[in-house]
């Protein structure tokens, strides 16, 4: 599905979701396993690695900087770490495709290297804001050139001397936090980041797991340069962001009864479950356990009548990537759903507020975009065509909407589904979704 952007999905209405699924590995953890495994001393063994285009872009970038990486083979990757100062200058630019995580985190990691690097991406990534990381990195002493708009390509000049900073993030962003912590590995003194709301903490968990000292105090996390990372074994849980489509699909399709196995349950990521349960979703959490410092569990979803809610602001950062799917749940719910405080959705792979509102309206749903969210009146979902604007999460969300549609839904520009969920069509079909690739 990654050959060209004319890939379309056609999803026939009806059906229900059932059986057992294990969705692909967590993208956030897969990225970080490559980055920190490369900087560690010794070997890092990864299982459950997401073999999607975004994660593979990170893997290719570190190979280009001299790291020996074997795999992936059936989700297994072996990394021979080179230590914090063992990376080598690549022969050319590092192309990161559609991956904002790769570009933002690597900006911090590369700011402290002795060599210069240029980071590039596809048209979508090249339009996404990078000042949120380049500005605080510059205050640490980094030298980074971007376009006049503050976007990629980013030229990160080598040889900079970095100093720790105390940074209060204006907007909750795990990518910004992680970028500064990775730069802090190379900075003199202490780098402290304070976030306005909790965001995913996979970077902190993995750093601690690799033996790097961190200080955490509420919303503040601090790191000091000069310590070492050691190679470890990492078992990547199933990605809750990918599970979200099936959480919604099984909730809205009458007669559904689906088990999702080994899903990552990091408390900074479970907002989608909390929101859906507040809407009346029947989600049972079982077999809870800890795997390599990350909590995982199995999730059973049975269909239920959902109701519209005002989404609590404190849950927004904990579900920021899952809102396209949540919007579909809201469209099938009884009553009104209101989302505020989610302006971050406008600077994702697409403007997810506007693109979802346009798509829902094209299907006859009363959905009104606002500056920082959406108002959706639940009701019937019609039939028609939707443009995903090359956004993988938009495409998969509208595929699930067809479970309750009055006619077929055709979704355009779906090639980028492979960035986060290779094999989506096959897994969804096996669960009961009537989807074909055109």
Q: Count H helices and E strands in the chain, helices first.
A: 12, 23
* 419 contacts 22 by C-beta, under 8 angstroms: no
All residues at 6 or more sequence positions from 273 whose CB lies less than 8 Å from its CB, including other chains: 240, 247, 283, 285, 299
Q: Are strands 434-437 and 9-12 parallel, antiparallel or unpaired?
A: antiparallel
Dihedral Cα 342, 355, 267, 198, nearest 10 deg: -30
Sign of CA dihedral 23, 28, 32, 34: positive
Q: At what angle do helices 240-252 and 392-401 cross, to 10 degrees?
A: 20
First-last CA distance in the chain: 10
- Cα 299 from Cα 294, distance rounded (Å): 16
CB atoms within 10 A of CB 350: 25
Nearest to 269 by CA among 180, 187, 205: 205
Task: Tell me, yes or no, if 45 is annotated catalytic.
Answer: no
Residue keyed to tokens 């969300």 = 397
Q: Are strands 220-224 and 190-194 parallel, antiparallel or unpaired?
A: antiparallel
Catalytic residue among 321, 387, 391, 413: 321
CB atoms within 10 A of CB 335: 14
* 38 contacts 63 by C-beta, under 8 angstroms: no
Active-site residues, by number, are 321
């Amino acid at each position: 599905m990654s050959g060209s952007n004319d890939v379309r999905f056609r999803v026939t209405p009806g059906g229900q979701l059932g059986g057992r699924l294990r969705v692909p590995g967590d993208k956030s953890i897969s990225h970080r396993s490559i980055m920190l495994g490369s900087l560690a001393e010794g070997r890092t063994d990864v299982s459950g690695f997401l073999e999607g285009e975004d994660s593979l872009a990170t893997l290719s970038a570190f190979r280009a900087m001299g790291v020996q990486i074997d795999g992936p083979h059936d989700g297994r990757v072996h990394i021979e770490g080179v230590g914090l100062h063992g990376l080598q200058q690549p022969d050319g630019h590092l192309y990161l495709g559609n991956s904002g995580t790769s570009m933002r985190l690597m900006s911090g990691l590369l700011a402290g290297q002795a060599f210069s690097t240029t980071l590039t991406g596809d048209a979508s990534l090249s339009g996404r804001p990078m000042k949120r990381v380049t500005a605080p990195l510059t205050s640490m002493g980094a030298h980074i050139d971007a376009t006049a708009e503050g976007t990629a390509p980013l030229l990160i000049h080598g040889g900079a001397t970095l100093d720790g900073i105390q940074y209060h993030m204006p907007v909750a962003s795990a990518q910004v936090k992680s970028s500064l912590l990775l730069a802090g590995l190379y900075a003199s003194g202490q780098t402290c980041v304070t976030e306005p709301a909790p965001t995913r903490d996979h970077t902190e968990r993995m750093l601690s797991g690799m033996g790097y000292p961190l200080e955490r105090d509420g919303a503040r996390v601090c790191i000091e340069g000069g310590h070492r990372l050691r190679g470890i074994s990492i078992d990547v849980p199933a990605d809750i962001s990918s599970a979200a489509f099936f959480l919604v699909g099984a909730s809205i399709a009458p007669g559904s009864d689906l088990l999702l196995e080994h899903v990552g349950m990091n408390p900074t990521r479970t907002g989608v479950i909390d929101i859906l349960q507040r809407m009346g979703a029947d989600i049972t959490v079982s077999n809870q356990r800890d795997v390599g410092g990350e909590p995982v569990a199995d999730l059973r979803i049975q269909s239920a009548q959902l109701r519209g809610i005002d989404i609590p602001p404190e849950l927004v950062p904990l579900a920021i990537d899952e809102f396209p799917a949540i919007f579909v749940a809201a469209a099938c719910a009884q009553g009104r759903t209101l989302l505020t405080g989610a302006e971050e959705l406008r600077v994702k792979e697409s403007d997810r507020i506007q693109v979802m509102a346009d798509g829902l309206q094209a299907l006859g749903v009363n959905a009104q975009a606002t500056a920082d969210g959406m108002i959706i009146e639940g009701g019937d979902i019609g039939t028609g065509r939707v443009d995903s604007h090359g956004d993988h999460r938009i495409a998969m969300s509208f595929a699930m909407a067809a479970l309750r549609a009055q006619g077929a839904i055709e979704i355009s520009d779906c090639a980028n589904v492979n960035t986060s969920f290779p094999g989506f069509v096959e897994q969804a079909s096996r669960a009961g979704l009537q989807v074909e690739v055109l």
